[in-house]
Structure 1
């Protein structure tokens, strides 16, 4: 039955307004609709009723908290753009739980909320929450895989332990389960389900996770936290205290060099699949422009991760993204 319509004592009504007896037979016609038809009506009703607020909410949160992802989403084909913003907004909501809560129990409750929201989405019950509602539309339109959404939640939930990565492999695993999973979903929004595209997405996601860890180091050092792999720090004789006080000693730069080099290797691996990756998948990989931009900047400052220029946004990034999109390369 249409949302907002009900039958009370044999009278067809809409939010308490009674309709004439001549159209009381209408509900029987609605009940005769097939499930797919009813679902299309629900999507249409939601789209026309309250989706503008939800869409704007997702757009605003991505623009504020994931500017690079926001620019990349704008360059996607129009059919996939809204779903991409919904997925990125979902990722932002999950990622910021760690920074917003002071107790692990509270964080676990929030993660459980999102896990239940995803389950509701796939039970065809659109959540009231704006991001959940947009996610429901994305799932219905593009038949997204629930596994990737749940994997993002599970990995972020484990990250609530607030532990330093023991080695680079742990950081890569985290990146695969979060950033790569997000790219798999964006590929699905583009209608791409291809093993070569998945391999490229896996490496790009790992590169993004590694670069994000580097970019966040100055921010977290202000909160007396260090997440760079301990194994590399020990290898080069750099202590956590060196990072907490923003040291620019060679040992610190050597750690940054090794981590940045690994991100570069993943980008090279991703590009090695380019000949076999469908052209339709390329828009999902525009993130490589922002990753490459950061790696070039950190190299120019001799791998000083605390250099002020690394904290500034590149004003030419939108143009660079557009040119890469126009050339259809990643």
Structure 2
């Protein structure tokens, strides 16, 4: 009960901190986008569509976005909605060909966005606005699409470095774009984003493991599994022996190392960049909870939403640290 009340109070505090949670209406569309049918009110609908998609599919990212400055928030929702759209492709297809077609849609959409001709799709419309507002770098969008396309193959990562590469080209690239919405273009901030994105990718892989196992799939790095003599079948059967937990410990430790490295030079990172890195709160929370259950990836407590996460986020934002 106490945790629930604290969570409710923290969510209310987040709403107060996120001044203007009723997202500001973007500037009126012009040119080909307007001709395609997006008027002012419809564009407002696109803003709400992105925010709602992120709230439903990336709740932690939604909370983090609420803590961004108001001039960056709608753009952050668009970026995260774009990420959600791409992430959903793999789980929603039965044939790789279909996934390739959907990835190509987004590749073409980004090209059209940078040609001032966004497709008649709410996320693409808001991305176009974000690009216009913040002069976002095109190659980060393309890296995310290319890497997620490669990942359509249902196979485990060969080693931890392959997982880190995937994380760098997806999660880190998303953070680079978020930094640009904050007006931050700084080598130290980018360095921190690189390590935090890798930690995010590793933790995401761990968190998704029980779900993937129910579908008879395991994507954990094969080199670490082989090191401890663990097979994919061991995970699919939900085994909890020490060698299985040792695999999880090694992978989780790599995420922790990246977080510590990102923080080791925090004094060189502009304070203006810190809001982009509040995702570390959720990563810390998950890794802490994993230690409490001795790295049993299948423990039910790890599948529950953290009711205190809004409070932890609010405290971190108040302290202005990452």
Instruction: Give the TM-score, by structure 2 length.
Output: 0.89
Aligned equivalent of 2:124, options 114, 121, 132: 132
CA distance in 2, matches of 1:97, 1:48: 30
SS of structure 1 residue aligned to 2:215: coil
**What 5-or-longer segments of structure 1 have no aligned partner?**
1-38
CA distance in 1, matches of 2:234, 2:314: 39
The structure 1 segments of at least 4 consecutive aligned residues displaced by more than 4 Å after TM superposition are 43-47
**What 5-or-longer segments of structure 2 have no aligned partner?**
1-26
Shift of the alpha carbon at 1:181?
Answer: 0.1
Residue 213 of structure 1 corresponds to: 205
CA distance in 1, matches of 2:140, 2:263: 23
Residue 281 of structure 2 corresponds to: 289
CA distance in 1, matches of 2:304, 2:131: 35
Q: How many residues align?
A: 292
Alpha-carbon contact 2:196-2:277 (below 8 Å) kept = yes
**Bigger radius of gyration:** 1
CA distance in 2, matches of 1:258, 1:213: 13
Aligned equivalent of 2:165, options 165, 173, 178: 173
Residue 194 of structure 1 corresponds to: 186
CA distance in 2, matches of 1:64, 1:40: 27
Q: Does residue 328 in structure 1 map to residue 320 in structure 2?
A: yes
Residue 145 of structure 2 corresponds to: 153
Distance 1:320 1:47, change over 3 A: farther
Q: Matches of residues 7-86 of structure 1 in structure 2 within 5 Å? A: 42=30, 48-86=40-78
CA displacement, residues 290-328 of structure 1 (integer Å, 9 cap, x when unaligned): 000000000000000000000001101011101101111
CA distance in 2, matches of 1:86, 1:128: 15
CA distance in 2, matches of 1:96, 1:41: 28
CA distance in 1, matches of 2:129, 2:258: 33
CA distance in 2, matches of 1:40, 1:63: 25
Residue 4 of structure 1 corresponds to: none
Shift of the alpha carbon at 1:42?
Answer: 2.0
Shift of the alpha carbon at 1:47?
Answer: 6.7
Instruction: Give the TM-score, by structure 1 length.
Output: 0.86
Aligned equivalent of 1:305, options 297, 311, 316: 297
Superposed CA RMSD in Å reads 1.4
CA distance in 1, matches of 2:317, 2:41: 34
Q: Which fold has the larger relative contact order, with Cα–Cα distance below 8 Å and residues 6 or more apart in sequence?
A: 2
Shift of the alpha carbon at 1:266?
Answer: 0.1
Residue 231 of structure 1 corresponds to: 223
CA distance in 2, matches of 1:140, 1:61: 22
CA distance in 2, matches of 1:98, 1:222: 16
Aligned equivalent of 2:262, options 256, 270, 277: 270
Shift of the alpha carbon at 1:232?
Answer: 0.5
CA distance in 2, matches of 1:268, 1:261: 10
Alpha-carbon contact 2:179-2:185 (below 8 Å) kept = yes
Shift of the alpha carbon at 1:51?
Answer: 1.1
